[in-house]
Structure 1
Amino acid sequence: MSVLVLGAGAVGSTTTRAFLDRGLDVLVATRSATAVPGAAAVGLDAGDADALTRAATGRSTIVVCTNPPYHRWRIEWPPIVDAVLRAARTTGADIVMMGTLYSYGRATMPMTEHSPEEPAESKGEVRRDIWSAFRSATERGDVRAVEVRASDYFGPGAGAEAHLGTRFFDPILAGKRSTAIGDPSLMHSWAYLPDIASTLVAASGFPGDWRRIWHVPAATTLSRTEICEQVNDRYGVRGSISGLPDWLLRGVGVFNPVLREVAASSYQFRMPFFSDAAETERELGVRATDWDAALDATVAFYRA
């Protein structure tokens, strides 16, 4: 088995290392040919079907971990989907898509792999349409595709774009105040980056029916307030956390298109937002990393 991973961000690089740890040959494709130690690298535009087909030739699986900027999803995702489908049809490679929970919208909690897709905003509509295209192509017999969906991620490598990344941990570990989107006292599913990678790897080798969704098991559903308290108690710091006022987020969003999209999906942090992965755990045999171990590794990363 040989793998083409699209994207080398936090998810793409962690997933690449997970495949490498299993002794697989991995090629990482990004615009800038970003190197991940142990993997080959190639520079390409994920929306360029010809370039993507050349990169996928001889590869058993295309793992899609790329993620355009929020405000460009409607523009950049359609050509990427078309290019991935064409590359898979031409080369015979399977497709494992890294997805989100956005398409469920304000769903009944917990969200499962079979929850109805009722998007609450534009990005949810885009994610729904991406999976619809892959599922339809699989049902026609053109390709084999699955989608792995995770809630917000955390862990070594999670940067400023993550709600439980550097903007959360750095201030708290420094004994300062972290500012959060939405209400930090609400429970929320948090997916540990290595668990996302393990689920993507397991999904790529599933022997049963594809054309389906898998959920990444959450390491915890603690609120950010509770996580802040645990960090203080466990690591001897005195940080705090508060919610960013809605009016301020909306106001900044007028001038910043990325924050405008963050505001549009901030409902996920104004209500309890959590997923269930019992079916994925049963069928794929994946499990969430112990929360304390995941937190220790994450804090060690930021302190380093």
Structure 2
Amino acid sequence: MGLQAVIGYGPAGAATAALLAEQGKRVRVIARSPRENEPGLEHVALDAADQAGLVEATKGATAIYSCASPPYHRWATDWPPLQDSICAAAETHGALLVSLGNLYGYGPVDGPLTENLPLAATGTKGRIRALLSGQAHALHDEGRIRVVEVRASDFFGPGVTDGGHLAARVVPNVLRGHKVQVLGDPDAPHSWTYIPDVARTLVAAAREEKAWGQTWHVPTGPPRSARVMVALLCEAAGVAPVAVQRLSPMLLNAGALVSPLLRELREVRYQFDLPFVLDSRAAQDFFDITPTREKDQAAATVAWWRDRLATVS
């Protein structure tokens, strides 16, 4: 397999690039922020929405991993040109497009989320994700590109810092023995996708030609409430259990008046107020990938955060 181009260097892009490099692949990471090259990884600073620039930067690629995502509140304006640019690069080079998606396109569903559900979201972000998925698969069906899509639930694990779920607003508080406040019902079952399992699935999907043209859910463990996940983190950290409280809806609404992120979260509140369960059995069986054990997830996450906090303190 030739050059592997990874677009985006957030948690998923970084984990995917690292895994490919570990496997001895030649990896080029394309992201907005400039970085020094490192063993196994070549970094190119580029706005991937720059179509001409991206086509040039992905020259020689046999696979393009789409792991980038615009700022949360700019999905409607920034995603379409970014998607067009990525698809153009894949078409120009005849490269496989390995597209990382999420579950927003399904919208609220009564029951587990499976890959064969219609993309029936009515909210802005959900409609955008459904549109992007449909466009990529249509290009595949037309024979213009080859694509495989991998969808994940909320990210969790080493390197995941953004968001208010199990990241910067939760794990540091656990390590300090402070109470934790979470979005939505702290006892609602929820699927949390471990970030190294995202990378494993993306790489496996690229390798298995019979998987192309389809959508797969990242192998994800049983749904756990936020309260249970916090307890697992406490156990891994060796600290006494901490209180877990629901963020006040009144405070969230007030914060939404000044915060674009909080405004956008209102569209997906159903994911945290109600059971939100990902069914990943199809991918587990096809790729023979078992989700990482919960205790190992928690231990690795706690260790990563301890190192991070020690570095910045």
1:161 CA displacement: 2.0
Query: Structure 1 pair 264/34, CA: closer, same or farther in 2 (3 Å)?
Result: farther
- Aligned partner of residue 222 in structure 1, secondary structure: coil
Picking from 284, 287, 290, the partner of 1:287 is 290
CA deviation profile, 1:8-44 (whole Å, cap 9, x unmatched): 1111101110111111110000112335733001111
1:236 and 2:216 equivalent? no
**TM-score (ref. length: structure 1):** 0.96
Name the counterpart of 1:93: 95
Name the counterpart of 2:33: 32
Task: Number of aligned residue pairs: give it.
Answer: 304
**TM-score (ref. length: structure 2):** 0.93
Name the counterpart of 1:160: 162
Larger mean Cα displacement after TM superposition, 252-261 or 58-67? 252-261
For residues 100-119 of structure 1, the aligned pairs below 5 Å read: 100-119=102-121
- Aligned partner of residue 161 in structure 2, secondary structure: coil
Percent identity, aligned pairs only, is: 35
1:274 and 2:281 equivalent? no
1:45 and 2:47 equivalent? yes
Larger mean Cα displacement after TM superposition, 235-244 or 286-295? 235-244
CA contact (8 A) 1:173 1:237 kept: no
Picking from 75, 81, 84, the partner of 2:86 is 84
CA contact (8 A) 1:231 1:237 kept: no
Name the counterpart of 2:254: 251
Query: Which aligned runs of 4 or more in structure 1 are off by greater than 6 angstroms?
Result: none
1:166 CA displacement: 2.2
CA contact (8 A) 2:150 2:201 kept: yes
For residues 133-172 of structure 1, the aligned pairs below 5 Å read: 133-161=135-163, 163-172=165-174
1:237 CA displacement: 2.5
| Unpaired runs of at least 5, structure 2 | 308-313
CA contact (8 A) 2:190 2:276 kept: yes
Amino acid at match of 1:292: K
Amino acid at match of 1:8: Y
How far, CA to CA, are the matches of 2:109 and 2:36 in structure 1? 39
Query: Structure 1 pair 278/35, CA: closer, same or farther in 2 (3 Å)?
Result: farther
CA deviation profile, 1:52-76 (whole Å, cap 9, x unmatched): 1111110101101111111100111
Larger mean Cα displacement after TM superposition, 41-50 or 155-164? 155-164
Picking from 65, 68, 71, the partner of 1:69 is 71
1:260 CA displacement: 0.4
Query: Structure 1 pair 53/177, CA: closer, same or farther in 2 (3 Å)?
Result: same
1:136 CA displacement: 0.4
How far, CA to CA, are the matches of 1:57 and 1:97 in structure 2? 18
Picking from 185, 198, 202, the partner of 2:204 is 202
How far, CA to CA, are the matches of 1:186 and 1:152 in structure 2? 14
